[in-house]
Structure 1
Amino acid sequence: MSVQAFSSHPMRSIVALGTLCFIVLALLPTSGIASMTVEEERELGDRLAREIQQKVDIVNDPLIKEYVDEIGRRLVEEAQDHRFRYHFYVVREQEPNAFAIPGGHIFITSGLIRFVDTEDEFAGVVGHEIAHSVLRHIDKAMERARRLSLVTLAAIIAGAFLSKDAKSTAVLTSGAMAMAQSLMLKYTRENEVEADQKGIKYLTDAGYDSQDMVIFLKKIYRWQRSVALDIPTYLSTHPGIDDRIAYLSDTFTATPKSLTTHPREAGDLEKIQIRLFLREKGGAEGINQFSSLLREKPGDVNILYGLGCSYVMVGRTHEALSYLSEALKASPKDVYIVRELGIAYFQAKEVDKALDVLQDALHTFSHDTTILYYLAQGNEEKGRWNESVSFYQRVLELDPGRVEIYYNLGVVYDKKGSLDLSHETFGLYFKEKGQRETALFHFKKALEHTRDWKKKRHLEELIKECEG
């Protein structure tokens, strides 16, 4: 089965953002990149990562995130880079690409993950980007960006920020783009082999088959030749691939294959690819695609899973339950199917079944905020307030940005009769939403109901913040 269909539209946003990481540091004080401390690099990377996340569509699927994070964690561990915590992001974009920015932030497109055939291939790409970060190639390349005039810098930055708008192509002049690409080309051609050497070591030490990196490069090289020449892809931001293929092939011929034990799979790659396909195309297109595939391969577990997920996405729970149940019969221990079946049961308002099934899935996907959220909601419906609170709190621990959970907690605490905690969490919700007057009301109410002096002091601080 294949769902690796790639569109032919230009991936200008990714290339512009890849360029942006070279440009932002060019605006720093002229003391030089080499003098940047680790803390300065971390702060810069964090700021830049936040800006990028506002410009692209980040895939927030917890199963996809856990899969990518686990592979990244293994490779960072082998790199022994303790300067900062690495962050991995999947961008919803059909064209295959990957790039790193300062501070250990690595962006990978959904198209790249769907392009690989094995976890080892994907790990090779991630290891390569980690190596660029470890070797500080990005930082060194920034120095060359200082050659650009302020006018050119302004054009490139504007083009990068507006690249998702079709009109933005006029903002980024051809001269500015050519100069930016020239800078990027010099950076990558000078350092790709060095990043390959380091990346291959990380792969081998982690137990992955480093020769799969050559397989990936050959495959993407062939694919690039079959698409329009103006499509920016992995080859645009990582040139010299033909030389890298030859170099790595010679290296593997002269070096015996590692005997290191291959690590357990970080997840089910094909199901991850199915989920990414659905994030790119949507549930309706998924129904069309997987229905067609099912006619060709009746009973195929992954196709049934994809079809079931598609129906879950569009809210057609009867069909979702039918296909997911059929898939589970064929593969009874498949936790990916179990998880999706639990969600379908919840959507069908079969709460008892949903809770049982999702609790089983939680043993494998312990950091899955979607499972935890449904378990919180299900226990709330059943009047099990303590269990509901526990699951909601776990969601917040894993994803502090989900401010709506404060509201959910406020409702449950109110039902439980804990008025101090109810008003406090309602207050936190409205504070995060920028509604200070409403937040202030709830914090004052919480202060009236609490007897804990430590809690009183905390609430008084929150009240001061809202009044300030």
Structure 2
Amino acid sequence: MKRFAVKTQFITVSLFSLGLVLSSPTQANNALPDIGGNAFSTLTPDKEKQLGDVMMRQTKGQLPMVYDPLMDEYLNAMGNQMVAKAQDVKFPFRFYWVNDKNINAFATLGGNIVSHTGTLAVSDSESEFASVIAHEISHVTQRHIARSVEARSENGPLTMAGILGSILLATVNPEAGMAGIMASQGLAQQSAINFTRSNEQEADRIGIQLMADAGYDPYAVPEFFNKLAEKSRFANTQLAFLYTHPLSQSRVADSRLRAEQFPKRFVADSQDYTLVKARVLARYHYQTKDAQSYFLRKLAEPGGNTKANQYGLALTYFDDKQVEKAEQIINKLRQQEPDNLFYIDAYTDILLAQGKAEQAMSMLEQQYLLKPNNQVITLNYANAAIQGKAHRLAVHLLRNLLYYRNDIFLAYEMLADTYKAMEDYARYYEARADLYYQMAVYPKAIDDLNEALNHVGKNNTLENRRIEAKKKQWQTELNRLKRL
């Protein structure tokens, strides 16, 4: 999808192809319910999952999340490949991206794991990036976060809003965030550091085993640690990752010893990794002109004429409005791999930029028949339908996708835009309400449901009852969270 800005009364977003970057740090009425310390003293897996889900939805409204279906598919496939090898998995895992050039990643309650785009951008292999994700998975399976929350609750009143605030602050300003966590909980600095080091060592140990079991190279762990240490040594301030994941010499040495327990073998990067990295560099890490220079330089190097570098250059040409140059590259790549989702996504953008919505729809219809629940195909198809004024088709595609998976933020955004274009304001406000709900902004979500009811009309009994039932469900959920 061509890059453009979508503006509503409640949110401003920008989209690259099918990648949406959301940044709304000062939304009104978005404070989480206050949850007292007693609720955390017995944080069961079920309660952890409930709290983790609402915390993750709230995080979506506070950090610049990346809603890019190609990147989302890759990260969740890779993450869950390792989760499948883990022990003590008590709930499904979900993986997310934050648009941030700093090297960092973090896990929250309930199996939600977030990686900065910068972490992948600086990785030199898929195994290096996998080592970070495996480490965060291990924090969750070993219940480090849940135990930390329980321990802090014993030192005084604890609120979910306070925990979330510290997590977000640590992500944006790690040094201030760690200080905020310790100050807010009144914990001794040394005991907090010791507790963290113990968790980090255990997460390293479990994570290395996860990587090896999932087919990645465990030797990438000490290699990535050494890279972080080198970068931190020459930086003015310590890396964000090292504030939230303290790196001692003993930890580096320990990771090397653990990796050496596994036989050395060559582990090739997957093509999806190389294409996702090219996408991140082209659209999230560098400015367009800088990215263009980067890929031209890489292509000129010995062995650099790869599909990933060609793809990355095509993206920079498209973003620089050099559509014909982008088309030439993508057409060559599509001749070799006509069903590659990365190339289909880029070619859709090109066709729509050329005003060829019907041709894009025809191409995507065939792909949709083969992959009806794939979010990359469906969202591209829906976008082409919107551009081609086939609004009812777009609604059909988006609603089916949300029935299959109801947490796709971009689908709600596109659905709201489509209903507004159709002047169906009842469903437009309901789609807006769903967006607010995705960010755990319950008061705003309920307000928009009330606005939807105003547009439904009193005679439409079925729709009135359905929306009233949804409003009651959300109010009940909010009340339950308050009682946790």
- Bin of the TM-score, shorter chain as denominator length: 0.7 to 0.9
Aligned to 2:100: 93
8 Å Cα contact 1:443-1:463 kept in structure 2: no
- TM-fit CA distance, 1:73: 1.0
Q: Structure 2: give runs of 5+ residues left out of the alignment.
A: 1-31, 435-444, 476-484
Alpha-carbon RMSD: 4.6
**2: distance between equivalents of 1:57 and 1:381?**
26
State which structure, 1 or 2, has the greater radius of gyration over its C-alpha atoms: 1
SS at match of 2:97: strand
SS at match of 2:65: coil
**1: distance between equivalents of 2:358 and 2:250?**
59
Deviations 1:57-106 (A, max 9, x none): 11111111111101111121211444222221211111211222222121
SS at match of 1:59: strand
Change in CA separation of 1:356 and 1:156 when aligned onto 2, cut-off 3 Å = closer
* Residue identity opposite 1:346 in structure 2: L
SS at match of 2:110: coil
Change in CA separation of 1:181 and 1:365 when aligned onto 2, cut-off 3 Å = farther
Aligned to 2:412: 403
Aligned to 2:291: 286
SS at match of 1:207: coil
**1: distance between equivalents of 2:141 and 2:169?**
30
- In the alignment, does 2:273 pair up with 1:269? yes
Alignment of 1:207-226 (within 5 A): 207-226=215-234
* Residue identity opposite 2:214 in structure 1: A
**1: distance between equivalents of 2:171 and 2:278?**
25
Change in CA separation of 1:140 and 1:355 when aligned onto 2, cut-off 3 Å = same
Which region of structure 1 is more displaced relative to structure 2, 211-220 or 130-139?
A: 211-220
8 Å Cα contact 2:391-2:418 kept in structure 1: no
**2: distance between equivalents of 1:86 and 1:149?**
30
**1: distance between equivalents of 2:246 and 2:168?**
24
SS at match of 1:223: helix
* Residue identity opposite 1:116 in structure 2: S
The number of aligned residues is: 422
**2: distance between equivalents of 1:224 and 1:61?**
30
- TM-fit CA distance, 1:381: 7.1
Which residue of 42, 47, 52 corresponds with 1:45?
52
Change in CA separation of 1:185 and 1:343 when aligned onto 2, cut-off 3 Å = same
Change in CA separation of 1:274 and 1:43 when aligned onto 2, cut-off 3 Å = same
Which region of structure 1 is more displaced relative to structure 2, 304-313 or 433-442?
A: 433-442
Change in CA separation of 1:423 and 1:154 when aligned onto 2, cut-off 3 Å = closer
- In the alignment, does 2:348 pair up with 1:342? yes
**2: distance between equivalents of 1:255 and 1:370?**
37
- TM-fit CA distance, 1:379: 4.9
8 Å Cα contact 1:100-1:106 kept in structure 2: yes
Deviations 1:20-42 (A, max 9, x none): xxxx9x98425764x22222222
* Residue identity opposite 2:125 in structure 1: T
- In the alignment, does 2:193 pair up with 1:189? no
SS at match of 2:124: coil
Aligned to 1:206: 214
**2: distance between equivalents of 1:366 and 1:185?**
49
Change in CA separation of 1:318 and 1:182 when aligned onto 2, cut-off 3 Å = farther
* Residue identity opposite 2:207 in structure 1: G
Deviations 1:380-403 (A, max 9, x none): 777878755542323433445443
Which residue of 442, 457, 460 corresponds with 1:444?
457
**2: distance between equivalents of 1:430 and 1:155?**
27
SS at match of 1:55: coil
Deviations 1:289-328 (A, max 9, x none): 4355556679653333112212333555334323323444
**1: distance between equivalents of 2:366 and 2:296?**
28
8 Å Cα contact 1:145-1:183 kept in structure 2: no
SS at match of 1:346: helix
TM-score normalised by length of structure 1: 0.72
Alignment of 1:132-281 (within 5 A): 132-142=139-149, 145=152, 176=183, 182=190, 185-228=193-236, 230-256=237-263, 268-277=272-281, 278-281=283-286
- TM-fit CA distance, 1:336: 1.9
8 Å Cα contact 2:208-2:259 kept in structure 1: no
Change in CA separation of 1:380 and 1:128 when aligned onto 2, cut-off 3 Å = closer
Provide the identity percentage.
Answer: 23
- In the alignment, does 2:60 pair up with 1:36? no
Which residue of 428, 443, 451 corresponds with 2:430?
428
Which region of structure 1 is more displaced relative to structure 2, 281-290 or 424-433?
A: 424-433
8 Å Cα contact 1:301-1:330 kept in structure 2: no
- In the alignment, does 2:308 pair up with 1:309? no
Q: Structure 1: give runs of 5+ residues left out of the alignment.
A: 1-23, 415-421, 448-455
Which region of structure 1 is more displaced relative to structure 2, 231-240 or 424-433?
A: 424-433
Change in CA separation of 1:288 and 1:36 when aligned onto 2, cut-off 3 Å = same
8 Å Cα contact 2:100-2:118 kept in structure 1: yes
8 Å Cα contact 1:388-1:412 kept in structure 2: no
8 Å Cα contact 2:40-2:150 kept in structure 1: yes
- In the alignment, does 2:465 pair up with 1:460? yes
Aligned to 2:113: 106
* Residue identity opposite 1:250 in structure 2: L
8 Å Cα contact 1:63-1:368 kept in structure 2: no
**2: distance between equivalents of 1:464 and 1:357?**
39
8 Å Cα contact 1:327-1:337 kept in structure 2: yes
8 Å Cα contact 2:430-2:449 kept in structure 1: no
Change in CA separation of 1:126 and 1:165 when aligned onto 2, cut-off 3 Å = closer
**1: distance between equivalents of 2:433 and 2:60?**
23
8 Å Cα contact 2:426-2:451 kept in structure 1: no
**2: distance between equivalents of 1:124 and 1:350?**
43
Aligned to 2:21: none
SS at match of 2:58: helix
Q: Which has the higher helix share?
A: 1
Which residue of 329, 340, 348 corresponds with 1:323?
329
